[in-house]
Structure 1
């Protein structure tokens, strides 16, 4: 029972964040899908609205739709590991009218990764790792120092626990 109490709140936070990001991603998808549908149904004589409607029925969105349906299982969840890009990808899926089931199945792992990153406080570590890979030597050095300190603290705690048990 004490483990359940100790571990319970963090998983509650992760579950809550999962619901939040799921609703946000679905909302973005459906809003973009509604905009696309409205533009395509529009028979306005206004030049701007007519151009938007023509664009949605043109070859660009069809290519985007085929690309998302072909590669969406990779692009969509990976976008949740970025800051800002995920909204663009979710909106693009709605704009090109990607099938809802396919989109939702591709989105679920991304939602889980996002909830874990935010819920467990790992977002800063993830962003630092991305910066390190992108070539920031300062970030790489900071990551190595943090990793070394974590290893030292972990070993000290483990040795202290083992000495108490004996």
Structure 2
């Protein structure tokens, strides 16, 4: 009976990867959209940013990339949001444009869900296979193993230094 309902079985690892990559894309782009909306609202009411973070975001969102995103949204609407997930480097620009133009959330959300699904499928299949393949190739040679060890040590050092800096800042 089960076979009649589902002729194929999905690999649980693939499903988990899809959920992880979908979630990352959804949270990241939703935050970008809402920050851009807040900044657009503040700009329209001539309100100064309330924090350093918002001030930095306002500078970013008044630049050329944000203007390109706004132009894409004006031209293609929610389709720009969907198609931005196919090209590297366009998600931030287009989602910023959607927020800056105050695209209605009920219009933005379905486009975002479709785009995040595309992102999840691409990264859970092709992207993950490429990553695993690179690691297997690198781990198969002495030089590759050396590079992986050095990268791991560098990452660990960076994390330790960041934690120490944060502790010093809190203590002061």
TM-score range, shorter chain: 0.5 to 0.7
For 1:26 and 1:43, how far apart are their aligned partners in 2?
23
2:47 pairs with 1:12: no
Is the 1:80–1:114 contact (alpha carbons within 8 Å) kept by the matching residues of 2? yes
Per the alignment, residue 111 of structure 1 pairs with 116
Deviation at 1:38, TM superposition (A): 1.2
For 1:43 and 1:20, how far apart are their aligned partners in 2?
31
Flag structure 2 segments of 5+ consecutive residues without an equivalent. 1-7, 49-57, 131-172
Please, what TM-score do these two structures have when normalized by structure 1?
0.54
Please, what TM-score do these two structures have when normalized by structure 2?
0.52
Per the alignment, residue 25 of structure 1 pairs with 29
Deviation at 1:29, TM superposition (A): 0.3
Deviation at 1:121, TM superposition (A): 2.5
* Structure with more of its chain in helix, by fraction: 1
Deviations 1:28-81 (A, max 9, x none): 10011111111112267xxxxxxx9xxx9xxxx9xx59x737732321111011
CA root-mean-square deviation: 3.1
Larger Rg: 1
1:94 to 99, 105, 124: 99
Q: Within 5 Å, which residues of 2 pair with 1:8-157?
A: 8-42=12-46, 68=73, 71-122=76-127
Flag structure 1 segments of 5+ consecutive residues without an equivalent. 45-51, 126-166
Q: How many equivalent residue pairs?
A: 107
Is the 1:80–1:113 contact (alpha carbons within 8 Å) kept by the matching residues of 2? yes
